[in-house]
């Protein structure tokens, strides 16, 4: 039978045949064979892990027929070295391709516009709600996205955003709902938000398109998914399309804000968190950490705010 095997097969069989090994060399044989088995196992593990990551990346794409990966991390620091553990299933609507016809015969390019921003004479955004609470956050990692505990009524809302498309930076990603964990720091409660590992995460309790409030979407700049790796490069006037219940809503980028998170007072970090709090007017707030590399890696936040297209169009018409 040995003669029927290819030459390489004969060599393998010969090497693992205990009877052919001289008694004095059996110790070396055991060590060598064990190392080969360990090496092969590691190779298989790396191959499986790589294929798993690529599968999740494909599944997170907005145009993919695969279910969105329910994977999150407890903050903006990527989880490259951590195992991928599935989060509990969350029901979301089926994504709609960008060029698909949606109910009413419209396409993504003819998307429905969201509720307009309350009219203002100077075209500026209403102020972000202030926080009247201060705490010491020395023990809280700056890589974590924190805020004051959301209102109980917000936690009961259902997230309906299912897909995010940003043509300027070639983002087309599924959106999953992400929650928070309430922790106590120096006797005061704060919320630490999860971040979707591959997809974009909609903050649980934040608004949905058409509800007239803050739609909060967060994603990684690095790590496995890197869905917001180019969020920094968005400029006012760029288009953002948010899909909710199969319906596309158009928004236009209004401003990009860079805030410091590491080495700043607690009051500053909580002030930064105001951008993900309810606003009382419709706005899409997209957030990620910055920069992705270098000595200041992940020490800042990039916050991009986009207004309903109707609001921008109306302000242009009012301009002289």
Query: How open is the CA angle 231-192-126, to the nearest 5 degrees?
Result: 55
Tell me if 104 sits within 8 A of 173, measured CB to CB: no
Structural tokens at position 95: 């994504």
Handedness of CA 248, 249, 252, 255 (dihedral sign): negative
pLDDT for the residue numbered 18 = 55
Neighbouring-strand partners of residue 217: 202, 286
Residue 40 near residue 32 (C-beta atoms within 8 A): no
Nearest CA-CA partner of 171 in 140, 198, 191: 198
pLDDT of residue 191: 74
* pTM to 2 decimal places: 0.68
Per the listing, tokens 């920069």 go with 291
Q: What is the pLDDT of residue 317?
A: 52
CB-CB contact of 224 with 57 (8 Å): yes
Characterize the bridge pairing of strands 200-203 and 171-178. Answer: parallel
Provide the CB-side half-sphere exposure for 267 (13 A, CA): 4
Q: How many Cβ atoms are within 10 Å of 199's Cβ, its own excluded? A: 30
**E strands in 112-156:** 112-113, 145-147
Q: What tens-digit pLDDT sequence spans the chain (320 residues)?
A: 445 555 555 555 555 555 566 666 667 767 777 888 888 888 888 888 788 888 888 888 999 899 888 877 765 544 433 333 332 222 222 233 334 333 334 443 444 444 444 444 344 555 555 544 444 444 555 456 666 666 655 556 788 999 999 999 999 999 999 987 776 666 667 777 888 889 999 998 899 999 999 999 999 998 778 899 999 999 999 999 999 999 999 999 999 999 988 877 777 877 888 898 888 999 999 999 888 888 888 888 999 999 999 876 555 555 55
- Two tokens, residue 276: 């993900």
Nearest to 190 by CA among 247, 232, 138, 238: 138
- What pLDDT does 274 receive? 87
Residue 120 pLDDT = 43
In the chain, the domains with their CATH numbers are: 2-59 (no CATH), 72-318 (2.40.260.10)
Q: CA nearest 106: which of 253, 243, 308? A: 243
Which residues, 6 or more positions from 267, have their beta carbon under 8 angstroms from its beta carbon?
134
Give the pLDDT of residue 138: 45
Q: Is the dihedral of CA 199, 201, 202, 205 positive or negative?
A: positive
């Amino acid at each position: 039978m040995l003669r029927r095997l290819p030459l390489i097969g004969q060599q393998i069989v010969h090497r693992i045949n205990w009877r052919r090994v001289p008694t004095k060399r059996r110790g070396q044989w055991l060590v060598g064979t064990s190392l080969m088995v360990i090496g092969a196992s590691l190779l298989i593990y790396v191959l499986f892990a790589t294929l798993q990551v690529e599968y999740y990346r494909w599944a997170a794409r907005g145009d993919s027929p695969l279910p969105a990966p329910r994977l999150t991390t407890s903050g903006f620091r990527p989880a490259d070295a951590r195992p991928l553990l599935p989060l509990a299933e969350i029901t979301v609507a089926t994504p709609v391709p960008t060029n698909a016809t949606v109910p009413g015969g419209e396409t993504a390019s003819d998307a429905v516009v969201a509720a307009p921003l309350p009219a203002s004479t100077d075209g500026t955004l209403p102020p972000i709600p202030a926080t009247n609470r201060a705490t010491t956050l020395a023990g809280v990692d700056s890589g974590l996205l924190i805020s004051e505990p959301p209102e109980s009524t917000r936690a009961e809302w259902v997230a309906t955003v299912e897909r995010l498309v940003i043509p300027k930076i070639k983002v087309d990603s599924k959106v999953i709902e992400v929650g928070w964990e309430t922790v106590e720091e120096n006797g005061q409660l704060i919320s630490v938000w999860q971040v979707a590992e591959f997809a974009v995460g909609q903050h649980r309790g934040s608004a949905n398109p058409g509800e007239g409030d803050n739609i909060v979407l967060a994603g990684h700049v690095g790590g496995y998914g890197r869905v917001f790796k180019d969020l920094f490069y968005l400029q006012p006037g760029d288009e953002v399309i948010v899909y909710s219940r199969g319906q596309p809503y158009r928004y236009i980028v209004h401003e990009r804000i860079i805030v410091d998170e590491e080495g700043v007072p607690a009051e500053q970090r909580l002030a930064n968190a105001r951008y993900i709090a309810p606003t009382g007017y419709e706005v899409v707030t997209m957030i990620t950490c910055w920069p992705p590399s270098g000595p200041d890696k992940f020490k800042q936040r990039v916050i991009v705010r986009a207004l309903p297209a109707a609001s921008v169009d109306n302000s242009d018409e009012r301009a002289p």
